[in-house]
Structure 1
Amino acid sequence: MSQERLMKVLLAPLVSEKTARLADTSRQYAFKVLPDASKPEIRQAVEKLFEVKVTNVQVARVKGKVKRFGQTLGKRSDWKKAYVTLAEGQDIDFMGAE
């Protein structure tokens, strides 16, 4: 896989109470990823960007909600998220200022 592709696979970290709890208890971090990203691509991208060892990757497709805009109905885009489990002793710090 090309370096260019790996740099585009991860779109954003998902930071919420649920993901913070997952990070504390089971070393799992959540990311918004490209809809066509594969598990090996996600693993390589996280290992390259954050210099950590990934033990497991789980992906989930999130269906977009149907929303009303005045009288017209609209639909938000579907998207994909990945839960990445890190090896023992590994950590990703999104909030840390160095």
Structure 2
Amino acid sequence: MLSPHDIIIKPIVTERSMDDIGENKYTFKVKKDANKIQIKNAVETIFGVKVEKVFTMNMNGKMKRMGKYLGRRANWKKAIVKLTPDSKSIEFFEGI
């Protein structure tokens, strides 16, 4: 069994993700094989909030080049978590 800290890898801090905080949506990079139920339980356990809905998407790694050699960054999974209206905000994102 994976611990919640193994499922949630890191938060994603971009302009768009910061705008979504006004709608109670928070964005995280998550483990590639985690499902929506595991992500929901991990966020509720770590941050002590109630999750209404989870949106997930698989992100393809970008093509990168070093001289004449081509390579690709690793594929990863992104999760956007929508909190319930009566839930408090996640304190990690408050100072950003």
TM-score where L is the length of structure 1: 0.89
What residue is the counterpart of 1:29 in the other structure?
26
Instruction: State how far apart, in whole Å, the 1-side matches of 2:55 and 2:33 are.
Output: 14
- Give percent identity, aligned residues only: 37
Residue among 85, 88, 93 paired with 1:88: 85
- State which drifts further: 15-24 or 45-54: 15-24
What residue is the counterpart of 1:75 in the other structure?
72
Residue among 31, 42, 54 paired with 2:51: 54
Aligned residues: 94
TM-score where L is the length of structure 2: 0.91
1:93 CA drift (Å) = 2.2
1:96 CA drift (Å) = 4.6
Consecutive unaligned residues in structure 2, runs of 5 or more = none
Aligned partner of residue 36 in structure 1, secondary structure: coil
Aligned partner of residue 52 in structure 1, secondary structure: coil
What residue is the counterpart of 1:12 in the other structure?
10
Consecutive unaligned residues in structure 1, runs of 5 or more = none
Runs (4 or more) in structure 1 with deviation over 3 Å come to none
Instruction: State how far apart, in whole Å, the 2-side matches of 1:83 and 1:95 are.
Output: 14
Q: What's the RMSD between the two structures over aligned residues?
A: 1.4
